[in-house]
Amino acid sequence: MLVLTRHKDESIIIGDNIELMIVDVRGDKVKIGINAPPEVRVYRKEVYDAIQRENIEAARTPTADLAKVEELLRAGLHAPGEPEQPRKSDEEEPDGN
């Protein structure tokens, strides 16, 4: 781990396009400003860890649940709030009847 000492209004550059700036220091708290491109995801570590836990849990979805989702999709059901899609039997005939 690289450890650097910085004062208020001083920065650290990571790569060519990420800047970390020390915005404020009060007691044992430091405010850091992060300037990064929009495609770079920036998370607090505890939020990142929670996302990882949720992803692992989602990957453990039982296959029975997935089979139920597939069954519902085949039945033509739609998600709440989405408009119902017409079924083939509900569509008009090609001649307009």
pLDDT tens figures, 4-49: 999 999 999 999 999 999 999 999 999 999 999 999 999 999 999 9
Higher pLDDT, 86 or 27: 27
pTM of full prediction above 0.95:
no
Mean of pLDDT over the chain: 84
Helix (H) or strand (E) holding 58: helix 45-59
Q: How far apart are the first and last CA of the chain?
A: 73
Spatial distance between the Cα atoms of 93 and 50, rounded to a whole number of angstroms: 51
For residue 53 the two structure tokens come to 């836990």
